[in-house]
Amino acid sequence: MTERSFATTPEVLRIGNCSGFYGDRFSAMREMLDGGALDVLTGDYLAELTMLILGRDRMKDPELGYAKTFLRQAEECLGLAVERGVRIVVNAGGLNPAGLAGKLREVAASLDVPVRCAHVEGDDLTARTEELGLGEPLTANAYLGGWGIARCLAEGADVVVTGRVTDAALVTGPAAAHFGWARTDYDELAGAVVAGHVIECGTQATGGNFSFFTEIADLTRPGFPIAEIAGDGSSVITKHPGTGGAVTVDTVTAQLMYEVDTARYAGPDVTTRLDTVALEQHGPDRVGIRGVVGEPPPPSLKVSLNSIGGYRNEVEFVLTGLDIHAKAELAREQLEAGLVKRPREMTWTLARTDAVDADTQERASATLRCVVRDPDADVVGRSFANVAVELALASYPGCHLTSVPRSGSVYGAFAPGFVDSAAVPHRAVLADGATVDIEPIRDTRALADVAEPELPEPLPTESTRHEPLGVVAAARSGDKGGNANVGVWVRTDDEWRWLVHTLTVERLRSLLPEIADLPVTRAVLPNLRAVNFVVEGVLGDGAASQARFDPQAKALGEWLRSRRVPVPEELIP
């Protein structure tokens, strides 16, 4: 078989992304391969919720447990990738990377495409949970780093599929292999982690889910991002020419603020100091990342633990016109009185979406939502649904439901675990079937809090106006298990002097009453003119438990931006 070089330009490795989640744009793989030069194409298919979905797939069929859409993308694009000399690295193996690698070889053979396929395994700890003190979850997967990927690529693999690795490992592995980095090249590895974090969620780096989206000329079909990584770990984030969206300091900052916690971003290969990241616009759709400092990783690996939490159901009443609160109270009293057995959890939410003197019936209506959870499917199944339906002719005037409730459905529960990194096998299974054990890292350092940096002087203010926070600030939020993060940043030094003294933990709690009683921490990131908040417990047992209206906290930041605060008049656009 003819050897192909790892990169077209040895000084720079061009790594593109074609998937930010299981269900992302199917055509993105072909778009990235057709759109311009690439050396490596990555795809992130896994999330905490996805691992639960794959776990249920595996319960039905032990040969499943991987992201099936990747296999269909490969059927369409594998020949093109080989023709263009692009290596593919994806975590689509999920709970069964060996199974996916085998299926991929079958696809390659059917297409008569010569492909060397390798995989990385060892993350699945499900059979060892009792031994490791992790309880009895449905799935238990440790977050591996990039060194197994690096070894597979160094040994000539064209395609590497993995199980649960960190999202950034899809970038650090290829970069380490290409540049020959050592395990202790922490600054270089940390730079690649930041680049990987920026591109891992696909179009979120090119204008998707972006607070200032109205400033982007064309968001019809944003292009997927590319990281051009240099040997010192610095990078440039860009996208293929002619694609939609934009790459700016703000779109990159937005993704840097996604699903992070403190200024120390811990991973299995390196702890990345987010407070050292410096961004610079290098031209249209080109943002440079430099100055990233890395430290030894912590001695333990995070483990994703997914379990079946129980069963849930919900009903949503429509309340129209006058006496909304009285109507809601009547519906609640009647439903609860009609239940034979009260579910373990019962949550009511009244959304006052109604307007006074509305010109349409829909604008005159509010909704009352009841969500129930219980270990017993029968308690939240037909017996619950029937009580709600039976109120149709016996309740408040105008009573109707948005839809007829069905049988209860299973919901998942996520919990993080931690195990000593030496207790987790990390294996590279090469294209020829040989297995190579990846040594656990020896140089580790326990995580410690980062002291808050010296803050700039507050902005002198003569007059203010009550305006939405979002007239000045952008935000990005997301889920971290049962926790949520909200990152907020501004663009100018004067805005930063105002924001860092204004948006404190206490102010955040007052602006978002739903989190007022929860633990909240703040990290200050001056290089990005950003503050990041972590709200503990707001998502219950994680996204799969659907504990709140926005189960993954995707819009928590936009709610915050809509809240009014005293803004200095000189900062108001």
pLDDT in tens, 149-198: 999 999 999 999 999 999 999 999 999 999 999 999 999 999 999 999 99
Tokens of 115: 């492909």
Instruction: Answer yes or no: is pLDDT of 4 > 50.
Output: no
Q: What is the pTM of this model?
A: 0.94
Domains of the chain as residue ranges with CATH: 12-304+416-437 (no CATH), 306-413 (3.30.70.380), 464-571 (no CATH)
pLDDT (0 to 100) of residue 25: 97
Cα 362-363-369 angle, rounded to 5 deg: 70
Q: How confident is the model over 546-572, as a mean pLDDT? A: 94
| pLDDT per residue as tens digits for the range 340-369 | 999 999 999 999 999 999 999 999 999 999
DSSP secondary structure letters along 329-358: HHHHHHHHHH-SS--SEEEEEEE----TT-
- Distance in angstroms (rounded) separating the CA atoms of residues 531 and 490: 9
| pLDDT per residue as tens digits for the range 423-465 | 999 999 999 999 999 999 999 999 999 999 999 999 998 899 9
Q: Which residue has the tokens 């699903």?
A: 259
Q: At what angle do helices 28-35 and 68-84 cross, to 10 degrees?
A: 10
Q: What single letter denotes the amino acid at residue 163?
A: G
Q: What is the mean pLDDT of the chain?
A: 95
Q: Which residues contact 517 (CB under 8 A, 6 or more apart)?
A: none
- Distance in angstroms (rounded) separating the CA atoms of residues 391 and 48: 38
| pLDDT per residue as tens digits for the range 285-298 | 999 999 999 999 99
Q: Which residue has the tokens 């979002």?
A: 470
Instruction: Answer yes or no: is pLDDT of 48 > 90.
Output: no
Q: How confident is the model over 398-411, as a mean pLDDT? A: 91
- Distance in angstroms (rounded) separating the CA atoms of residues 72 and 51: 19
Tokens of 308: 């079946």
pLDDT (0 to 100) of residue 5: 55
| pLDDT per residue as tens digits for the range 497-517 | 999 999 999 999 999 999 999
Q: How confident is the model over 546-551, as a mean pLDDT? A: 83
C-alpha pair distances (Å), 55 with each of 50, 90, 480:
8, 18, 19
pLDDT (0 to 100) of residue 1: 29
> Residue 3's pLDDT band (boundaries 50, 70, 90)?
very low
Phi, psi of 529 (to 5 degrees): 50, 50
SS3 54: helix
> Residue 10's pLDDT band (boundaries 50, 70, 90)?
confident
pLDDT (0 to 100) of residue 544: 77
